[in-house]
Structure 1
Amino acid sequence: MLRMELEEPGGFRGENVSMPQNKFHFEDKKRKFLLFIITIFIALYAINYFLFSAPFEHPRGTKFTISSGMTISEAGEYLKKHDIIRSPIAFKALVYIIGGRSGVIAGSYFIENPVSVARIAMMVTTNGYGIKMYKVTIPEGLSNKQIGDLLEKNLDNFDKAKFLKLAKDKEGYLFPDSYFFEPDSTPEKVIQMMNDNFKERIKLINIDLAFFNKPLKDVIIMASILEEEARTENTRRMIADILWRRIEKGMPLQVDASFVYLLGKGSAELTLDELKMDSPYNTYKYKGLPPGPITNPGLASILAATKPLRNKYWFYLSDKEGNMHYAVTFEEHKANKAKYID
């Protein structure tokens, strides 16, 4: 009897040792499960917060514009700044998922009520809810007047006279490109878009400009001449070298391109009296560069102005087929003129 009594307490002691361990194991599983549930809840909340709900400050009945040339990252920062989305990172990821690497579609968009970043990403990659836009392509080498004519033709009730007045000091700095304009775009908005585009594009060649070490104004004026004087990269660079050297030597540039700007006439149409007209843009009469750009050059001509191709020539002309002929002396130049033009 005594042995049985001793064994029973021993057995009970063994059971008392194992029960707390089982309980601890159960509690640990319970805590992990609760942690998992909380993590899932937080993740779902975060997904809903960043992807499917609009910011509290999201404006109602608002219009936003994705500018031409704007990158996905720039568009995300712009939308975040205007309280249209919360997360530029989420926006960028969704744009890639929805539209691949095609990027965002330039244009203006209207939002009546606050929408999620997912909806915004869908809009700017498919042009959904986009306001009807007019695509206008501005070729390289157009003057402000020619740009005004093009805009007046393509936009509703466009005020060309006001455009020319406001853009007077922007000649050469309205970047040629394809733009998407709203039907009722004002001259102020058009000028801002084109000038902002110029500022962004010129950043691409900042190193070249710095290395060339001439004022930006002089480079743009030279580039505006090159747009009229040549059509290929090689000839632009050749002519750039000739003209920069003529300026250094104190020789007049004697380019006919400025008369297209002044009179709307090409070389073949000019009279001797017109070549003598008194204007600071007459490069036959006045030495150095004209006082301002005569066209709005593209990036290729701007770059050519900073990368002159060294050569021995001082004169050049273009024949009726557009081929360029160079000369070292004035006598050679006159011979080329007689052979290829007269």
Structure 2
Amino acid sequence: MNHIDEEVLQSKPEKVKKPKRKKPRVWLVSFWVCFSLLFLMLVVAVSGLYYVWNQLGPTKAGEPVEVTITKGMSANSVSKLLEEKGIIKNSFIFGYYLVLKDEGANFQAGKYELTPGMDKVEVIAKLNAGDVIAEDTIMFTIPEGFTIEQIAEKLAAEGLGDRDTFVALANEDRTWSGAETVLLMPKEAANVKYRLEGYLFPDTYEFAKGITEEELILRLLKEQDRKLASLPEDWVDQLDKLGITMHEMLTIASLIEREVVVDEERAKVAGVIYNRLAEPMRLQIDATIQYALGEQKEVLSYEDTELDSPYNTYRIDGLPPGPIANPSLDSIRAALYPEEHDYLFYVTKKDGTNTHLFAKTYREHQQNIEKSKQTAE
């Protein structure tokens, strides 16, 4: 090797070291993995919610179909039937929706006309209300002031259930699903003749043929809720203002219902009741004895006024243990908004007007009794 070669070899450049490549940071990888998983879960959740929402939506509109709900049919069976008839898309999801909304237990038996494309809420409301095809219904009127026994007898006479079964159910210590007012009844309603007396609203109803006694009672209880909801917004505050409970208010309303015929006098008679309670004076209302006796006697005897009963307001102080009838909304309103005055007594006129003479003192009351007798002559 010559000299030049040695110099060339000696001048050969050194190898340049390549910079080391940095490894990706662990946290960045973890972030993307977690983000991907969360995104995937979100996509699945949104897709699932959309599917459920879609399955609960209306079906394609179509011609009305006839759907028959039989007595004792479960909510699941009803759901399957509705899917078969094209009213809902998915009976499984609809069934869970019923559970979530606490619905399905109050569906009434009967033949319904339902239309594909109906909203699920509309379908449920129709089944709850017993809005069946007209030929399968019975119009039924419960007069204002009727007792549970009178309601039961009238229902049985119209072919709507068994009297004794209805009366027994009305006295059961139980929860009525979907009814609210009855929940305010005292847990220990001691000495009441019937637990639901005063809570079954008197009105004209359209019932499905084949309706059960339990369904009948629940319908009347719910109607009471609806009617109370129509009162002025401050009606609950009125209970506190008057110092009474819901149960006591319905009791007073039932006394008014049985004592008053002319609407204009309801609030005035209510005022008398509150005045006597405030004195305190015994109410001495004949209708309470008639309720205890179980008969509407035109004239009470002295022996009747001595009847040993918690409902006999000639012998007990304060209110009877519960309502003596099922009052109208007018009587409920009078019990909540009594007329303010100083009257403590009233007597029915004998002139056929069904109105009363009111008095502030017992002496005036005696004079009114004589005046009442004279009007009958």
Q: Secondary structure at the match of 1:170?
A: coil
Identity level (%): 31
Post-superposition Cα deviations, 1:119-176, rounded to whole Å, max 9, x if no partner, equal 999xx8xx884551111111111000111111011125x2101111111311100011
Residue 249 of structure 1: aligned partner: 279
CA distance in 1, matches of 2:293, 2:281: 23
Alpha-carbon distance, 1:250 to partner = 1.6
Aligned residues: 251
1:166 corresponds to which of 151, 165, 169: 169
Asked if the contact 1:155–1:185 (Cα under 8 Å) also holds between the matched residues in 2, the reply is: no
Q: What does residue 146 of structure 1 align with?
A: 150
**SS of the residue aligned with 1:161?**
helix
Structure-2 residue corresponding to 1:311: 341
In the TM superposition, what is the alpha-carbon distance from 1:268 to its structure 2 partner?
Answer: 3.7
How far 1:64 sits from its partner (Å)?
9.6
CA contact (8 A) 2:144 2:202 kept: yes
CA contact (8 A) 1:138 1:147 kept: yes
Match status 1:224 vs 2:250:
no
Does the CA contact (< 8 Å) of 1:256 and 1:267 recur in 2?
Answer: no
Q: C-alpha displacement at 1:62, in angstroms?
A: 4.5
Alignment of 1:137-286 (within 5 A): 137-155=141-159, 158-167=161-170, 168-205=194-231, 207-213=234-240, 214-266=244-296, 268-286=298-316
Tell me, in whole angstroms, the C-alpha distance in 1 between the residues paired with 2:151 and 2:266.
23
Segments of 5+ residues of structure 1 without an aligned counterpart are 1-48, 66-78, 87-106
Secondary structure of 2:145's partner?
A: coil
Q: 2:61 aligns with which of 52, 63, 72?
A: 52
Measure how far apart 1:203 and its partner are. Answer: 1.8
Deviation of residue 300 (structure 1)? 1.0
- Write the distance in 2 (CA, Å) between the matches of 1:148 and 1:269: 26
- TM-aligned CA distance change 1:223 to 1:128, over 3 Å: closer
Distance in 1 between the 2:158 and 2:132 partners? 23
One-letter amino acid of the structure 1 residue matched with residue 136 of structure 2: K
Deviates more, 1:258-267 or 1:276-285: 258-267
Shift in Å at residue 256 of structure 1?
A: 0.8
2:327 aligns with one of 294, 297, 315:
297
Q: Which amino acid aligns with 2:234?
A: I
Name the SS of the counterpart of 2:346 in structure 1.
strand
Over aligned residues, Cα RMSD in angstroms? 3.5
2:52 alignment counterpart: none
TM-score when normalising by structure 1: 0.65
SS in 2 for 1:210: helix
Q: State the alpha-carbon separation in 2 of the partners of residues 222 and 270 from structure 1.
A: 21
Contact 1:134 1:155 in 2 (8 A): no
For 2:138, the equivalent position in structure 1 comes to 134
Contact kept, 8 Å, 2:59 with 2:87, in 1: the verdict is: no
Distance of 1:177 and 1:85 partners within structure 2: 34
| Contact 1:109–1:130 (Cα < 8 Å) also in 2 | no
- Mapped to 2, the partners of 1:185 and 1:128 lie a distance apart of 11
Take 1:292 and 1:330, find their aligned partners in 2: how far apart are those partners? Answer: 28
What is residue 330 of structure 1 aligned with on the other side?
362
Change (3 A) 1:275 1:341: farther
Judged with a 3 Å threshold, the aligned counterparts in structure 2 of structure 1 residues 133 and 328 are, in CA distance, closer, same or farther, namely: same
Q: Classify the secondary structure of the residue corresponding to 1:244.
A: helix
Q: How does 1:11-90 map to 2 (within 5 A)?
A: 52=61, 61-63=67-69, 84=87
Cα deviation digits, residues 239-259 of structure 1 (max 9, x gap):
111111211212100111112
TM superposition shift of 1:304:
0.6
**Offset from partner CA, 1:180-239 (integer Å, 9 cap, x none):** 222322211111110111122212225223234221111100000000111233311011
Q: 1:45 matched to which residue of 2? A: none
Partner Cα separation in structure 1 for residue 284 and residue 343 of structure 2: 14
Query: Which whole-Å CA distance do the structure 2 matches of 1:261 and 1:326 have between them?
Result: 24
- Distance in structure 2 (CA, Å) of the matches to 1:164 and 1:185: 16
- CA deviation after TM superposition for structure 1 residue 291, in Å: 0.2
| Matched AA of 2:369 | K
How far apart, in 2, do the equivalents of 1:186 and 1:63 lie? 13
3-state SS, counterpart of residue 242 of structure 1: helix
CA contact (8 A) 1:171 1:292 kept: yes
Find the counterpart in structure 2 of residue 116 from structure 1.
116
Instruction: State the distance in 1 between where 2:295 and 2:133 align.
Output: 46
Distance 1:136 1:192 in 2: 15
